């Protein structure tokens, strides 16, 4: 049973958190928070997502705030650094915020940028991390198959751990995987999973080597655990540019799955210039402890969204609640 809508509204806060660097084309992240029986929880689908997508995020928020946690298999999670589509001379500054991280995920395929810019960004990450560092890139489905194949060759010298969502469709991913199999570059699926009617379709289509799972878009921690036990491919838990509350949900999801072979993309609170807690969930020695952050009333007030933005989110909440 879900809590009544009135219970969500009673503690709802909408905040607009500034980013330290431009990410996904935005400089601030709008987020709704509630305080449930189990603690603070987050509802933060991106503003462009429709209600049919956003309802999964609400289901996850309610579960994290009102349902007991599942059995946990670890108490800290190794995380990767995340490097937005910045210029090479900004890479060192970005990486400095991810203490002890041995893996970096680098954004590529940014609209308006060239592949040559991606190459130089990745080159700088490799220089800083050294030969033992691990590099994965994320194209957010920016390429068609031909462009992706060309990019694989252009980036081959950097010994990539995997390429995340190089193309949009399962058919494209499967074709690309067949074309580039000889290169031994792994393909990871993200959008193909969280936007699919059946997330298992990626594994069944043999379209990827790694599955990137996110707690909110997939409907919550229990859905993550269920999916992890039904697929045979390795998984990576990742965030969706959330506050430390949303990061905590991802950390608990990562702690609840039995097998975790890769560093997780749950260090993105380091990309925020403001958060809702005085002790943000950021990497220390390459890991983050699995725990809920203490939410600050002062910070909720400092970063409170405008009245118009808050009204928009409250209307969205009601619409999505009616879809549960």
Active-site residue, from 22, 71, 105, 107: 107
Active-site residue, from 105, 214, 223, 258: 214
Active site (annotated) includes residue 214 = yes
The closest alpha carbon to 290, from 221, 208, 197, belongs to 221
Q: Sheet holding 81-83: strands in order across?
A: 81-83, 103-107, 134-138, 160-164, 187-189, 210-214, 235-238
Residue 114: φ, ψ to 5°: -100, 160
In the chain, what's the furthest Cα-to-Cα distance? 56
Residue located via tokens 């800083």? 128
Tokens read off for 273: 């210039």
What is the distance between the alpha carbons of residues 212 and 297, in angstroms, rounded to a whole number? Answer: 33
| Residue 263 annotated as part of some ligand binding site | no
Burial class (CB in 10 A: 0-12, 13-18, 19+), 196: middle
CA distances from 172 to 168, 178, 262, 265 (A): 7, 10, 24, 24
Active site (annotated) includes residue 195 = no
What is the DSSP track for 6-35? HHHHHT-EEEEEEEEEEETTEEEEEEEEEE
| Residue 138 annotated as part of some ligand binding site | yes
Q: Which residues sit in the known binding site?
A: 138, 164, 190
**Residues with catalytic function:** 107, 214
Q: Which residues sit in the known binding site for Mg(2+)?
A: 138, 164, 190
């Amino acid at each position: 049973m879900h809590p009544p809508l009135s219970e969500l509204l009673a503690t709802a806060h909408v905040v607009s958190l500034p980013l330290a660097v431009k990410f996904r084309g935005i400089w601030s992240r709008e987020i709704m928070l509630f305080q449930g029986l189990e603690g603070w929880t987050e509802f933060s689908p991106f503003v462009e997502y429709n209600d049919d997508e956003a309802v999964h995020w609400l289901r996850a928020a309610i579960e994290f705030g009102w349902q007991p946690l599942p059995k946990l298999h670890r108490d800290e999670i190794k995380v990767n650094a995340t490097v937005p589509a910045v210029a090479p001379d900004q890479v060192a500054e970005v990486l400095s915020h991810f203490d002890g991280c041995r893996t970096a995920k680098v954004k590529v395929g940014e609209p308006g940028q060239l592949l040559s810019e991606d190459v130089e960004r990745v080159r700088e990450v490799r220089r800083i991390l050294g030969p033992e560092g691990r590099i994965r890139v994320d194209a957010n489905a920016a390429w068609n198959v031909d462009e992706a194949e060309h990019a694989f060759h252009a980036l081959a010298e950097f010994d990539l751990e995997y390429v995340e969502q190089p193309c949009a469709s399962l058919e494209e991913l499967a074709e690309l995987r067949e074309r580039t199999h000889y290169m031994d570059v792994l393909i990871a699926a993200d959008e193909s999973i969280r936007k699919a009617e059946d997330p298992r379709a990626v594994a069944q289509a043999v379209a990827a080597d790694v599955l990137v799972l996110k707690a909110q878009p997939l409907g919550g921690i229990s859905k993550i655990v269920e999916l992890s036990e039904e697929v045979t491919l390795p998984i990576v838990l990742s965030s969706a540019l959330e506050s430390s509350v949303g990061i905590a949900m991802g950390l608990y999801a990562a702690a609840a799955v039995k097998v975790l072979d890769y560093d997780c993309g749950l260090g993105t609170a380091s990309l925020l210039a403001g958060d809702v807690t005085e002790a943000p969930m950021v990497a220390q020695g390459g890991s983050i402890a699995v725990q809920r952050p203490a939410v600050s009333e002062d910070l909720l007030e400092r970063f409170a969204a405008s009245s118009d933005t808050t009204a928009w989110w409250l209307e969205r909440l009601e619409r999505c609640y009616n879809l549960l």
